[in-house]
Copies of this chain bind each other. A is one copy, B any other.
Amino acid sequence: MEHMTEKLTVALVGAGYWGPNLARNFSTSPDWDLVAICDLDVPKAERLARTVGGDVAQFTFEEVLDMPGIDAIAIATPARTHHGIALAALKAGKHVLVEKPLADSTEHGREMVEEARLRGLTLMADHTYCYTPAVAKMRELIEDGALGDILFVDAVRINLGLIQPDVDVFWDLAPHDLSILDFILPGGLNATAVSAQGSDPLGAGRSCVGYLTLPIGEGALAHIHVNWLSPTKIRRMVIGGSRRTLVWDDLNPQQRLSVFDRGVDLGAQSTAGADRAASTVSYRLGDTWSPALAEREALGDMVAEFAASIREGRPSRTGGDAALRVLAVLEAARESLAASGQISAVATQHAGLEAASWAR
């Protein structure tokens, strides 16, 4: 029984917005002992340690690196600091968990992945959504062929959201959708090219509204809309398939997933020309089905997977490679933005498939 194995010890770096969630889950996990919390704002770290209770206390990051009993470091600091903190932790022999995005550039991310590989340490990204029951069910349905071939993905993640000081809306919100696509699509996130449109109508210095388009194979597109300026909150992903179409509405706890047995079937094209095409189209208007989902906190499963991947010496479900695929798309999106929405190749991918193939 896993509960019998000795607990792993972890220190949390970053007591801001996301840190308390990690602290709560580490401290109630049967796998972990949370022993230290670090933050440049020392009273903030102390307050969080008190709230969490137990034996956790505030330490500086340097103190933590020197503590021999610490197995792992969890990083919940601003994105641009991930690289430095993670490298220091890895060099001190600690396993590392990093809040999304893994780093602020592909280059930084790759260095982190290399360092972990060299030292045989676990580097994992906190792609939280990949641990939700809804996303697990979506992956299962796609794997089982319930949707058929994927025809399109349309993701909307909009809100009146905190304008981040160091990243734009793409780097803040799109990692969620990209990591989900990487997790659920049959071939993972294998986009070869990206087009991004963004706007900064308030003069905030970075895009607050963004649109990302990427091919996901066989003429299918994924499109992601991220927005910090929307007064209404929407978190929805539609995955159109040749057999069925799935809608994930994360803000509807009574029916998060709906699987529609509705669709369009194209019959054999007649040779009588384009005008006849409509006559060979048929529509299915079948049932809708909403699978039951467990109500479980994703972060609990995430910290369990972090422990399991360390113990079993295997890559974690949302490990460095998955995180690099997400970064590569974000990096290409940054280039596309800089070039007025021009299509931009995704760097880490084999460049065989030319971009033109996905647009008509």
Contact = CB atoms under 8 A, between A and B. Distances in A.
Given A199-B220, A213-B341, A292-B287, A277 B230 contact: no
A48 to B, nearest CB: 11
B219 A201 contact: yes
A328 interface: no
A286 B292 CA distance: 5
Contact of A152 (B201, B261, B341): B201
Interface residues of A, number: 88
Copies of this protein, total? 4
A202 B219 CA distance: 8
A259 B151 CA distance: 29
A229 B264 contact: yes
18 contacts: A152-B209, A160-B264, A163-B264, A165-B274, A200-B219, A201-B218, A201-B240, A204-B277, A211-B211, A223-B225, A228-B264, A229-B240, A229-B263, A232-B254, A287-B289, A337-B359, A339-B359, A340-B356
Interface of A: 50-54, 149, 151-152, 154, 158, 160, 162-166, 195, 197-209, 211, 213, 218-221, 223, 225, 227-233, 238, 240, 242, 245, 247, 254-255, 258, 260-264, 266, 269, 274-279, 281, 283, 285-292, 337-343, 355-356, 358-360
